[in-house]
Amino acid sequence: MGSGFYFEKNLIATNYHVIEGSNKIVIKNLGTQAKSENVRVKSYSEELDVAILEVATMNSTSLQLNTVSPEIGDNILAIGNPKGLEGTISTGIVSGIRELSETYNLIQITSPISPGSSGGPVLDSNAKVIGISTFTLHDSQNLNFAIPSNAVLNLKSKSMKWEPQISNVSRQAKTTESVVLSFFEKVSSEFNESIALKNNSSQTIKNIKGLILYYDDRGNPLSYQFITLEDILPPGMSKLKTIRSFDQEQKFCYKYGKDDYRVRDYEFTVQFRLLDYDVVENNFMDNLLGN
């Protein structure tokens, strides 16, 4: 079960993962008990997690798309059916814009979304759709994301499966274990941290995007930050990167850190979550290595 919205009188936008693997799709409009089974998948993209459904019966109203990228801090409204609670509305703001490619940006929002919300519209203050609710990071506070509306327009003219040309690299065979945070510690008593991202896959990768989550010794979330690493990483290689510490008041020490950190007040632990990366094509590496 998921959500969706009419952007034309006979076209509905939703997430691909909502309809993935289905052999039957049933549409129920909010505010009615009528259901329609005369639905077909017009086009979809696994890469963008967007699907366009075509219905035989025209709907009297549809939402207007706004393909202009929103600004951080803009007020938004998310509508969906979380846990089957139809027509749930949640307010929030745009809390971040995360680059996916030259064409698409992932919209980070504070409006809560839950299973069942996927595919619902995210509206701006003018009631225009800026994105589609897509996923949330579990065990995190208000880390929710939407795919931008321009993905819907690009899919509208396509038939069945379509994958956009994201870049000059291949985006296949990716897993969340392909990149790990292999080294993490404070830099002396400075306000920065040193991390190293290691390529655990068998492919050469670049443009790594990840999320670092900080927790206290009871497992309560303290802070988070997004990180990117554009460098090319061959299989098994690591790259060191310096980032700004969340602990600017110098109160925390690593839970399993060195003795000289025990004078600090609180212990904390770290989790790393891989969001995305690009797989570099073989011919690209050949040229890089001069072969």
Domains of the chain: 1-164 (2.40.10.120), 179-289 (2.60.40)
How far is C-alpha 180 from the geometric centre of its chain's CA atoms?
18
CA distance 170 to 204: 10
> Does the active-site annotation cover 118?
yes
Cβ neighbours, 10 Å, residue 17: 16
Q: Catalytic residue among 43, 45, 49, 247, which? A: 49
Q: Out of 17, 69, 114, 238, pick the active-site residue.
A: 17
β-bridge mates for residue 226, sequence order: 211
The torsion defined by the Cα of 97, 70, 117 and 6, in degrees rounded to 10, comes to -140
Average pLDDT over residues 8-26: 89
Flag whether pLDDT at 283 surpasses 70.
no
Helical H segments across the chain, by residue range: 16-19, 150-156, 282-289
Q: What percent of the chain has pLDDT over 90?
A: 17
* d(C-alpha 229, C-alpha 276), whole Å: 11
Is position 17 annotated as part of the catalytic site?
yes
Q: Which of 3, 118, 149, 178 is catalytic?
A: 118
Residue in this structure with the two tokens 């995210």, named with its chain if needed: 122
**The tokens of 65 are what?**
């798309």
Mean pLDDT taken over the chain = 79
> Rounded to whole angstroms, how far apart are CA atoms 262 and 143?
31
Please list the alpha-helical segments (H only) found in 146-291.
Answer: 150-156, 282-289
pLDDT, tens digit (0-9, with 9 covering 90-100), for 94-136: 988 877 766 788 888 888 777 788 889 999 999 999 999 887 7
Q: What residues have CB less than 8 Å from 21, skipping those under 6 apart? A: none
Residue 49 falls in the annotated catalytic set: yes
Mean pLDDT of the 63-70 span: 90
Higher pLDDT, 82 or 288: 82
Which sign does the torsion angle of CA 121, 123, 129, 131 carry? negative
